[in-house]
Amino acid sequence: MAAAVDPEQLAAHRMTVRGVLLRLVRDEALADDLVQEALLRATRAAATLRGEAAPATWLTAIALNLARDHFRAAKRAPTTALEEAGELPAPDHPEAEILQAEMSACILAHVARLPERQREAVLLHHFAGLSHREMAGPLGVSEGNARVILHRGLAALRASLSRECVLDFGDDVPCERR
């Protein structure tokens, strides 16, 4: 068994886990609460970490389970929260900021329509920057299965976007609704 994980080592991953949760729950206060609860649970259970997963992966898995529990308890789907526009860093031009927010909201709405596992895989990989191996832990699957779930999620996202949007990345406005 590996040595117990230091609470400070877990806390170092707070912002990464918060980013994942924020993309999932679209509520800063709720994301902060879930991160705090995840850190508390991870600290309490640090002695049980077998060293099979990196502390960040383990903490993310705990946080995702807490988010799932929250949505089950509230009897509402996380997709309703994802439909709201996401906040992104402000670009240099106000028009660009508006376009970026609209694009983000549109893409997040399409991500929200994905089945739960695929949605989580897309968020973990593309928004939280986790590798396939790191995604496997929070998803509760093997690395190979994480790749398959992500691939299927991206294919479904691509199909959904192509049905409803005209994409032209050479244009000033790369996406327009059909």
Query: Domain extents for the chain?
Result: 1-76, 86-178
3-state helix, strand, coil in the chain (%, to 5): 70, 5, 30
Bigger pLDDT: 92 vs 23:
23
CATH 1.10.1740 fits 1-76, yes or no: yes
Inform me whether the pLDDT recorded for 117 exceeds 60. Answer: yes
Of 1.10.10.10, 2.60.40.10, 3.20.20.220, 3.40.50.800, which CATH number belongs to 86-178?
Answer: 1.10.10.10
Lowest mean pLDDT among 58-67, 91-100, 115-124: 91-100
Inform me whether the pLDDT recorded for 76 exceeds 70. Answer: no
Inform me whether the pLDDT recorded for 88 exceeds 50. Answer: no
User: What is the Cα–Cα distance from 34 to 29, expressed in whole angstroms?
Assistant: 9
Cα-based distances in Å from 58 to 63, 76, 85, 161 = 9, 26, 29, 32
User: What is the Cα–Cα distance from 178 to 175, expressed in whole angstroms?
Assistant: 9
How many helices and strands in the chain, by DSSP H and E?
A: 9, 2
Inform me whether the pLDDT recorded for 2 exceeds 70. Answer: no
User: Tell me: the pLDDT tens digits for 121-134?
Assistant: 988 888 777 889 98
- pTM to 2 decimal places: 0.51
- Read off the pLDDT of each residue in 25-51 and give the average, rounded to a whole number: 83
Cα-based distances in Å from 137 to 2, 48, 118, 134 = 17, 15, 14, 6
Average pLDDT, the chain: 75
Categorize the per-residue pLDDT at 81 as very low, low, confident or very high, splitting at 50, 70 and 90. very low
**Res 118: pLDDT:** 92
Torsional class of 23: left (φ above 0), alpha (ψ -120 to 50), beta (otherwise): alpha
**Res 147: pLDDT:** 96
DSSP state of 51: S
User: What is the Cα–Cα distance from 96 to 173, expressed in whole angstroms?
Assistant: 9
Query: Cα 23 to the chain's mean position, in Å?
Result: 5
